[in-house]
Amino acid sequence: MAFAQRYNSGVIDKAAAVVGNELIMLSDVENELKTQRMSGMGVDQASRCTILESMMTDKLFVMQARLDSLSVNAEMANSQLNAFVDQWMYMAGGQEQLEKYFGKPLSELRRAWKEQMENQNLRDQEKSEIIGKIPELTPYDVKQYMDTVDRNNLPVVPIKYKMSQICVYPDREAAKLACKERLLSIRERIINGEKFATLARLYSEDPGSARKGGELGMASKSIFWPAFSDAAMSLKPGSVSQIVETPDGFHIIQVIEKSGDQFNARHILLKPRYTDEDQAKGFARLDSLKALIDSSKITFEMAARLYSEDPASRTNGGQMSDPNTGSAYFEIDQLKPEDYAAVKDLEPGQVSDPIVSRDNEGRDGNLVYKIVRLDKIVPAHTATMEHDYTELMQGVKNQKQNEALNEFVDSKIKDTYIIIDPIFKDCDFSRKGWAEKIRK
């Protein structure tokens, strides 16, 4: 069970567990622990136990996938690997820092991560196979669940809001032009000899890089917006780009270093600014529309179709919908803070005063002025067949899937040759079956 291979710290590497014909090394557990630390996840004394249990569970699914002759989706696995490597290179600050953190060359890390991605692909396929064998659910299943479950265990549906909006934008073209003029002035100062890094600290509106003189760190071009990457990759080190527009705003870029499809660059980001006059004009227009709606001279729906500048809601008479789910109902945490503040004290049918908010475009959204009508409030309540059938059906479906996956894992623990190293004897595994596999 023990091998001569050593960590850089001098600790002997050894097998943490054997699952069938699959081996989990102690170094695998430690590397995953490092990955979690770098990603900002909380790590405590029980983390190694949790990681090992997760790895052993995955091995059970992977072994069954191979028995079922499932094959790796190579294109998907490679895509996930490249994205994973790019993400960690960016977080670590480049290849050198990444290799130093893990104590391994990138080629070795890529091999390990490639195997990990392929195993995850097989694991997910096997889970889909198991879930796919569950009989299709019917309303009878939902009713049976309702009849047998403890009423205190029924899901509670949180308060939901249904809303409509009329949006107008400030003069974005004028703001963009002014932004570009400011950036051209900064670029001219750099060309005339001022330091890019100094001006980035003074003027860049990217807080993460501004304090580092605009430096982004060595990273793959795939991390950035295509227009940004294309401009950076076309530059010679030290030269300064023309203005580049991305959904984040407007940039000038100075490349420090390039290697393959990776680069390290500085940038200065400026975003269009809007004045009190812009807001006054937008609010005046919305106030006029609100007065017409309140006096019943025009319906909210008609005003939205005629005057709203939001294409997504305009065609629906202003009705808002979640861009991720398509639902017309929003829970509080799905609402923009400004939108929730506008409707939280309204009664259904009432229209808010004009507010400043953000749309759903780009990374942070574009500034927009709007009035919001509260159409309906669905109070928080215990789920019922009459009003929440879809949520209940999904809950029963999730329950059936979890039961099927848990039954698979529990049966495989019993039937599979498994040995766990005694250094994990104090682990409080979530499944009792693992404790019986600890080597005495």
Q: What domains appear along the chain, each with residue ranges and CATH number?
A: 2-135+399-435 (1.10.4030.10), 160-170+274-379 (3.10.50.40), 173-270 (3.10.50.40)
Comparing CA positions, the residue from 251, 263, 268 lying closest to residue 197 is 268
pLDDT of residue 3: 33
pLDDT of residue 369: 97
Q: What is d(CA 202, CA 199) in angstroms, rounded to the nearest whole number?
A: 5
pLDDT of 31: 87
What pLDDT, on a 0 to 100 scale, did the predictor assign at position 103?
A: 87
Per-residue pLDDT at 7: 45
Residue 399 parent element (H or E): helix 389-415
Contact 299, 293 (CB under 8 A): yes
**Which pair of structure tokens corresponds to residue 150?**
């403890």
Determine the pLDDT at residue 102. 86
* pLDDT score at 98: 86
Instruction: Give the type of residue at 90.
Output: Y
CA angle, 25 then 29 then 31, to 5°: 105
Residue 36 confidence (pLDDT): 86
Half-sphere exposure of residue 276, counting CA atoms within 13 Å on the CB side?
0
Residue 370, both tokens? 């709007």
- According to DSSP, the residues that pair with 194 across neighbouring strands are none
Q: CA-to-CA distance for 279 and 212, rounded, in angstroms?
A: 34
Give, for all 440 residues of the chain, the pLDDT tens digit.
333 344 444 556 889 999 998 899 999 999 889 888 887 777 787 899 999 999 999 999 999 999 999 999 888 888 888 888 888 887 787 788 888 888 889 899 889 899 989 999 999 999 999 999 999 989 998 988 888 888 787 888 899 999 999 999 999 899 999 999 999 999 999 999 999 999 999 999 998 899 999 999 888 888 899 999 999 999 999 999 999 999 899 999 999 999 888 899 999 999 999 999 999 999 999 999 999 999 999 999 999 999 999 999 999 999 999 887 788 999 999 999 999 999 999 999 999 999 999 998 767 788 999 999 999 999 999 888 888 888 889 889 998 999 999 999 999 999 999 999 999 999 999 998 999 999 87
> What is the sign, positive or negative, of the torsion defined by CA atoms of 98, 103, 109, 115?
negative
What is d(CA 123, CA 127) in angstroms, rounded to the nearest whole number?
6
